[in-house]
């Protein structure tokens, strides 16, 4: 591991990569702060830039910096305006905003910054320990297990994203898989489902899809509903210091939530959002009686818990991405797509074949967290001014960047029409409460899923691998349970609720 | 029927068409030597089409959905009520503007179409300070063009087609 760390240090400390960390963190913080824009749309917009860098380590460092920068920036708008920029920071506003209302905005921002820093750094340490271990286990996997593992990942994502409506999430995943089969396969030199259109010969472009699914609907929603982007008066921010007493209160929360958040982040489908809500709930339950009353009214613990958990979960979500090549969330799915576009295949071989990418990303996370802490603590009062960017300019610019992103990727104006068309479809799907992240993850995993499926079919001359390999079978059973159990429980709860209603 | 179930119906039709393609039309063009393979290019699509049709049927039938308090009609009415509260006109205008941009990009050149796009976009959203708008858009268009052309090395025609390059 020491050797790896040294390789990582060597790569991460190059001038270019340090610039990438700082740039990524800054861009992420700025945009994450704007209410209504999540990390996925920022990362989608940044992808063309990252891909044209040409260096996978630099690209991943940049995008990872944008990712945790956005989570960090989201907490600032949650605290100051009660307008979370990112779903993962909604829980931050529960206690952060009351604190800011009491005139302790500076203190709240400091607590958030320290908690984020601790969560991110402890997460990076855990990542350094667990990723290589998991990776060496994953090297024993065959294509059959990979196939099964991807099915598990997809069903876990569908089960979590669906929240009581698993059918819709599964449907979106399958739609993503369907879109992945458009174009030529690796199996035979013949185009599939292109409907005779030359533009579809190489399949749908991943960048266009990412823009259309995340960035475009978010921008359109800002237009639909101007209240979403309304920016209030942030007020004066002063007195950033915290007392010794408060630090003492924070320490155990930060310790617990870094661990819990990290492991929640590792699970496919459960990301920063679930980690932050769960972290808040857990800390509230185990707090003493008088502390419990303070939750929701500006409690230090209530603010530190979600902030630590969401940053640790961000880092945790890199574990499945780097070791198995299976993204656990929409954001890591976009990162995976960017890596594939750069000719790097994440997975257990990544550590062996491209150790500099693997380790540089981990090392850059330490640097990134430090950069965020240093940049943000003294600069927060000034950065908060960005919250006053007029939306009349902001929205056309976001739309313009989505257009440019898909144009640069393909150098083709037909791509722009595909972008607009898919963007409209995605907006309608969002109206109807269809989760969109499973669609993109299905699309990205689709071709890998099919390749591994094809390989196992070839080796076993049929589908026998499903029952002849116990691990494959076990994984597929888990996948089926993940989808069926929540919907069964929802139906039973429904039946019970109906029974009560009838009695009235 | 609520909006989400109509969408599921559309997706069901997509999967049906896809399944038809996978089951009945694709295998005809398969070269004979590949027919001995245990897996064909159509195998995976066949599996997806069946799963997709089943899932879409579940969502369309609404057996999984939480029943709204006063039937499906209340749910769809509430969806339309929120849509009515939305500012649809500027959103549609912006989408139309994006389509215009897609068609204008090559013939009109990058600089002209981008400045036009950014100004028109801001104008649709209610901005009326024309000079500020022009300056902001021109600086943005120039910077982005420079970055794409010089830093990323991707060719973008800057000026209208009739002016050469």
A447-475: buried (b, 16+ CB within 10 Å) or exposed (e) per residue?
Answer: bbbbbbbbbbbeebeeeebeeebeebeeb
- Closest CA of chain A from B25, distance in Å: 10
- Closest CA of chain A from B159, distance in Å: 16
Q: Residue B73 has what pLDDT? A: 46
Last residue of a domain, one of B63, B85, B107: B85
**Digit-coded pLDDT (tens) for A138-178:** 888 888 888 888 898 888 888 777 665 788 889 999 999 99
Give dist(CA A58, CA A21) in Å, integer: 9
Facing A494 at nearest CB: one of B31, B66, B85: B66
Whether residues B73 and B127 share a domain: the answer is no
More confident residue, A421 or B41: A421
Any B CB within 8 A of A54 CB: no
Q: Which domain holds residue A222?
A: 2-498
Cβ of A174 within 8 Å of Cβ of B103? The answer is no
Burial of B151 (0-12, 13-18, 19+ CB in 10 A): exposed
Whether residues B67 and B105 share a domain: the answer is no
Q: How many CB pairs under 8 A join A and B?
A: 169
Give the count of domains, chain B: 2
Whether residues B75 and B96 share a domain: the answer is no
- Closest CA of chain A from B97, distance in Å: 10
Residues within 8 A of B (CB atoms), A 389-428 only: 390-393, 395-397, 399-400, 403-404, 407-408, 411, 413, 416-417, 419-420, 423-424, 428
Q: Residue A80 has what pLDDT? A: 78
Whether residues B52 and B37 share a domain: the answer is yes
**Digit-coded pLDDT (tens) for A319-340:** 888 888 888 777 888 888 888 8
Facing B125 at nearest CB: one of A192, A391, A424: A391
Facing B87 at nearest CB: one of A223, A450, A494: A223
Per DSSP, the residues of A381-439 read: HHHGGGGG--HHHHHHHHHHHHHHHHHHHH--THHHHHHHHHHHHHHHHHHTT--SHHH
Q: Look at residues A123, A72, A91, A373 and name the one whose alpha carbon lies nearest to residue A258.
A: A123
Whether residues B12 and B49 share a domain: the answer is yes
Q: Residue B165 has what pLDDT? A: 56
Per DSSP, the residues of A292-340 read: HHHTTSS-HHHHHHHHHHHHHHHHHTHHHHHHTS--SSHHHHHHHHHHH
Give dist(CA A479, CA A134) in Å, integer: 20
- Closest CA of chain A from B78, distance in Å: 11
State which residue of chain A sits closest to B49, comparing Cα positions.
A178
Q: Residue B70 has what pLDDT? A: 42
Whether residues B98 and B135 share a domain: the answer is yes
Whether residues B93 and B156 share a domain: the answer is yes
Whether residues B36 and B99 share a domain: the answer is no
How confident is residue A413, by pLDDT bands cut at 50, 70 and 90?
A: confident
**pLDDT reading at A503 higher than 50:** no
Give dist(CA A94, CA A96) in Å, integer: 6
Q: To which residue do tokens 């950065």 refer?
A: A383
Q: What is the mean pLDDT of chain A?
A: 81
Q: Which of A164-173, A302-311, B83-92 has the lowest mean pLDDT?
A: B83-92
Q: What is the ipTM of this complex?
A: 0.84
Q: Which domain holds residue B60?
A: 3-85
State which residue of chain A sits closest to B63, comparing Cα positions.
A491
- For residue A18, being part of any structural domain is answered with yes
How confident is residue B105, by pLDDT bands cut at 50, 70 and 90?
A: confident
Whether residues B72 and B123 share a domain: the answer is no
Last residue of a domain, one of B52, B85, B118: B85
B48 neighbourhood in chain A, CB within 8 Å: 174, 177-178, 181
**pLDDT reading at B81 higher than 70:** no
DSSP state, B66? P
Any B CB within 8 A of A164 CB: yes
Whether residues B73 and B105 share a domain: the answer is no
Does pTM top 0.90 for this prediction? no
- For residue A231, being part of any structural domain is answered with yes
Whether residues B121 and B50 share a domain: the answer is no
Any B CB within 8 A of A429 CB: yes
Which segments of A24-124 are extended strands (E)?
A: none
Q: Are A284 and A302 in contact (CB under 8 A)?
A: yes
**pLDDT reading at A389 higher than 70:** no
**Digit-coded pLDDT (tens) for A174-221:** 999 999 888 877 676 677 887 777 777 777 888 788 888 888 888 888
Give the count of domains, chain A: 1
**pLDDT reading at A40 higher than 90:** no
**pLDDT reading at A425 higher than 90:** yes
Question: Which residue, among B68, B110, B120, B125, would best test binding to A if mutated, counting the most A CBs under 10 Å from its CB?
Answer: B125
- For residue A266, being part of any structural domain is answered with yes
- For residue A504, being part of any structural domain is answered with no
Determine the 3-state secondary structure of A207 from DSSP.
helix
Q: How many CB atoms lie within 10 A of CB B100?
A: 15
B37 neighbourhood in chain A, CB within 8 Å: 458
How confident is residue B74, by pLDDT bands cut at 50, 70 and 90?
A: very low
Facing B117 at nearest CB: one of A166, A400, A428: A400
Give dist(CA A372, CA A51) in Å, integer: 24
More confident residue, A251 or A12: A251
A188 neighbourhood in chain B, CB within 8 Å: 30-31, 34, 40-41
Q: Residue B49 has what pLDDT? A: 93
Facing A396 at nearest CB: one of B11, B45, B122: B122
- For residue A503, being part of any structural domain is answered with no
Query: Mean of the pLDDT values across residues A420-428?
Result: 92
Whether residues B97 and B50 share a domain: the answer is no
**pLDDT reading at A314 higher than 90:** no
Cβ of B44 within 8 Å of Cβ of A454? The answer is yes
Cβ partners under 8 Å of residue A18, min gap 6: A12, A367
How confident is residue B148, by pLDDT bands cut at 50, 70 and 90?
A: confident
Q: Residue A272 has what pLDDT? A: 78
What token pair was written down for A396?
Answer: 């056309």
Cβ of B91 within 8 Å of Cβ of A424? The answer is no
Last residue of a domain, one of B85, B102, B137: B85
State which residue of chain B sits closest to A49, comparing Cα positions.
B152
More confident residue, A267 or B165: A267
Q: Residue A35 has what pLDDT? A: 66
Q: Residue A44 has what pLDDT? A: 80
- For residue A43, being part of any structural domain is answered with yes
Facing B55 at nearest CB: one of A170, A416, A490: A170
B29 neighbourhood in chain A, CB within 8 Å: 190
What token pair was written down for B28?
Answer: 């005809």
Query: Mean of the pLDDT values across residues A221-231?
Result: 68
Cβ of B105 within 8 Å of Cβ of A416? The answer is yes
Any B CB within 8 A of A373 CB: no
């Amino acid at each position: 591991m020491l050797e790896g760390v040294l390789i990582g240090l060597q790569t991460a400390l190059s001038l270019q990569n340090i610039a990438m960390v700082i740039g990524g963190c800054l861009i992420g913080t700025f945009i994450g702060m704007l209410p209504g824009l999540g990390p996925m749309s920022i990362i989608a917009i940044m992808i063309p830039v990252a891909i044209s860098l040409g260096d996978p380590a630099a690209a991943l460092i940049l995008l990872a910096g944008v990712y945790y920068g956005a989570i960090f920036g989201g907490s600032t708008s949650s605290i100051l305006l009660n307008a979370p920029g990112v779903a993962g920071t909604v829980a931050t506003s529960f206690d952060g905003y009351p604190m800011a209302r009491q005139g302790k905005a500076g203190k709240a921002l400091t607590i958030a910054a320290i908690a984020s820093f601790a969560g991110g750094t402890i997460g990076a340490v855990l990542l350094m320990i667990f990723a290589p271990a998991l990776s060496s286990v994953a090297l024993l996997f065959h294509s059959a297990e990979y196939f099964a593992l991807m099915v598990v990942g997809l069903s876990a994502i569908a089960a979590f994203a669906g929240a009581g409506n698993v059918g819709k999430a599964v449907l979106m995943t399958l739609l993503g898989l369907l879109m992945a089969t458009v174009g030529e396969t690796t199996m035979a030199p013949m185009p599939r489902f292109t409907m005779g259109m030359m533009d579809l010969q190489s399949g749908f472009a991943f960048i266009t899809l990412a823009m259309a699914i995340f960035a475009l609907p978010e921008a359109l929603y800002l237009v639909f509903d101007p209240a979403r982007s309304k920016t209030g008066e942030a007020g004066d921010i002063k007195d950033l210091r915290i007392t010794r007493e408060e630090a003492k209160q924070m320490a155990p929360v930060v310790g617990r939530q870094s661990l819990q958040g990290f492991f929640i982040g590792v699970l496919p489908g459960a990301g920063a959002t679930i980690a932050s809500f769960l972290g808040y709930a857990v800390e509230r339950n185990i707090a003493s009686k008088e502390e419990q009353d303070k939750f929701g009214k500006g409690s230090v613990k209530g603010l530190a818990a979600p902030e630590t958990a969401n940053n640790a979960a961000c880092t945790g979500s890199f574990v499945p991405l780097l070791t198995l090549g299976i993204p656990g969330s929409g954001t890591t799915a976009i990162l995976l797509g960017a890596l594939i576009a750069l000719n790097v295949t994440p997975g257990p071989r990544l550590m062996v074949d491209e150790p500099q990418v693997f380790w540089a990303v981990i090392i850059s996370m330490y640097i990134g967290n430090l950069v965020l802490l240093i940049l943000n603590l003294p600069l927060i009062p000034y950065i908060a001014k960005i919250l006053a960017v007029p939306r009349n300019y902001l929205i056309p610019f976001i739309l313009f960047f989505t257009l440019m992103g898909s144009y640069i990727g393909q150098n083709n104006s037909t791509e722009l029409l595909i972008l607009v068309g898919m963007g409209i479809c995605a907006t309608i799907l969002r109206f109807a409460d269809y989760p969109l992240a499973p669609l993109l993850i299905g699309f990205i995993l689709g071709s890998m899923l099919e390749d591994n499926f094809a390989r196992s079919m070839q080796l076993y001359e049929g589908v026998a691998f499903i029952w002849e390999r116990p691990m494959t079978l076990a994984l597929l059973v888990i996948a089926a349970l993940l989808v069926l159990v929540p919907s069964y429980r929802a139906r039973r709860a429904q039946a019970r609720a109906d029974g009560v209603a009838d009695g009235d | 029927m609520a909006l989400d179930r109509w969408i599921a119906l559309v997706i069901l039709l997509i999967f049906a068409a896809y399944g038809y393609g996978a089951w009945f039309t694709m295998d005809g063009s398969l070269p004979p030597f590949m027919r001995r393979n245990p897996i064909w290019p159509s195998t995976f699509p066949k599996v997806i089409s069946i799963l997709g049709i089943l899932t879409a049927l579940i969502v369309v039938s609404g057996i999984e959905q939480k029943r709204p308090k006063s039937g499906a009609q209340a749910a769809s009415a509430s969806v339309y009520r929120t849509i009515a509260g939305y500012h649809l006109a500027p959103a549609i205008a912006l989408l139309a503007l994006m389509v215009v941009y897609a068609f204008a990009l090559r013939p009109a050149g990058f600089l002209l179409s981008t400045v036009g796009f950014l100004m028109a976009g801001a104008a649709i959203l209610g901005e009326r300070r024309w000079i500020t708008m022009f300056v902001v858009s021109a600086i943005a268009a120039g910077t982005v063009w420079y970055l794409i052309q010089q830093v990323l090395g991707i060719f973008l025609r800057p000026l209208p087609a009739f002016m050469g390059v």
